[in-house]
Amino acid sequence: METKGTEVRARGRESVVAGVRALPLAVGGLAGSIVLFVLTIVSIALVPLGVGIVTTPWVLTGVRAFANVRRVAAAQWCGVRIPAAYRPVPAGANPWTRCFRMLGDPATWRDLAWLPVDMTAGFVTALLPAVLLLYPLEGFALALGLWRVFTDGTYVGWWYGFVPVSGEGTALLAAALAAVLLVGAYHLCPALLRLHFRLTRSVLASGQGELAERVRVLTETRRDAVDTSAAELRRIERDLHDGAQARLVAMGMDLGTVEALIEKDPAKAKALLAQARQSSADALAELRDLVRGIHPPVLAERGLGDAVRALALRMPVATEVDVELDGRADAPVEAAAYFAVSEILTNSVKHSGADRLWIDLHHTDGMLRISVTDNGKGGARIGAGSGLAGVERRLGTFDGVLAVSSPAGGPTMVTMEIPCASS
């Protein structure tokens, strides 16, 4: 019996949360879709005049950010995954290249097709949960006599739904209708919110060439992975050459000098031995740092959760970590996730001005989901020189996706998803 009551309360909370979330989703989605759709049409129309070549990339970037916010909400609120498959734009490209690369991207036209859907059917499916939750309040208020306040006690055509309220009896009928709507809200609000996000996914993830686009994105991410690996090997070679190798060479020279001086000048030989011992300790420390940068020992020994906790302890700002992992993922996936989190934390500390960070890791439905949130100034976006493009490429190697929600003034939320099994 107690379990049944707990389930009812949990379902009630879920329905209330869905209804509360749906209202700003409907209003904000309608306003944002209309504004961005109009701006996009005007900007594209101005391309032949040259003005649109400059404005269109900025407007389309805003459309992508708006769509990415919806992707984050869909994943976090209802577990609906909406993949993003935007073609990369070369860093430092001129406006002409940026404009036509973005206009030639099929994902751009899926975004533009989604905007009118979001301002019509999307608005209705997002508004329904809020109406089911909030409209009953009016019916109950009428039953308590509120209709007298607005009608001066006389019938002036007040309607609640299909019930004309003209007295106490009809006010009670309005309350009965409100109770029916409230029961509907209890059962339907979460499902209607999921329906809204599934409608969004049906447009944003549509297209006959989706499989070909997926293959192309995977090909690019594999190529990026090879390039990244080659760059990492060059970095290791440079660090070994300039660091540990140089110290070992110096230590060898010192030992050769000691061999020549050990009988002629024992005091000098003793000093050189001490110097060689310090050089060996420094070389060992550099080798340990290098190995830690390749694959942290705590990651191999304790897993991703403890490795991220160790990262949080080294942060110069207060960092909270919430881990819900029922096992361990494959080592390459854990390494990619670890270094992605490390890069995002570094970006937050350097650029956001935040004084608090929150990290959430959990594994559900074959998906490793990680979110990093800060209370900084916001304004972060992929491809803005913040390192997020590198993180996106790293995750793309494993079919992972990255979504960034970072309005001006903050907060910033970076969400990562990597499909993987848990041992």
pLDDT tens-digit readout, 359-410: 999 888 788 898 998 888 888 777 655 577 778 877 877 778 888 888 888 7
Q: What is the pLDDT of residue 402?
A: 85
pLDDT tens-digit readout, 211-243: 556 666 666 666 665 555 555 556 566 656 555
> Is residue 208 predicted with pLDDT exceeding 50?
no
pLDDT tens-digit readout, 269-302: 777 777 777 777 766 766 665 555 556 677 777 8
Among the residue ranges 132-136, 282-286, 304-308, the one predicted with the least confidence is 282-286
> Is residue 315 predicted with pLDDT exceeding 90?
no
Mean pLDDT of the chain: 79
CB-based contact 186:11 (threshold 8 Å)? yes
pTM equals 0.51
Q: What is the pLDDT of residue 153?
A: 55
What fold is seen in the domain 301-419? Heat Shock Protein 90 (3.30.565)
Q: What percent of the chain has pLDDT over 90?
A: 15
- Per the model's pLDDT, the better-predicted residue between 400 and 135 turns out to be 400
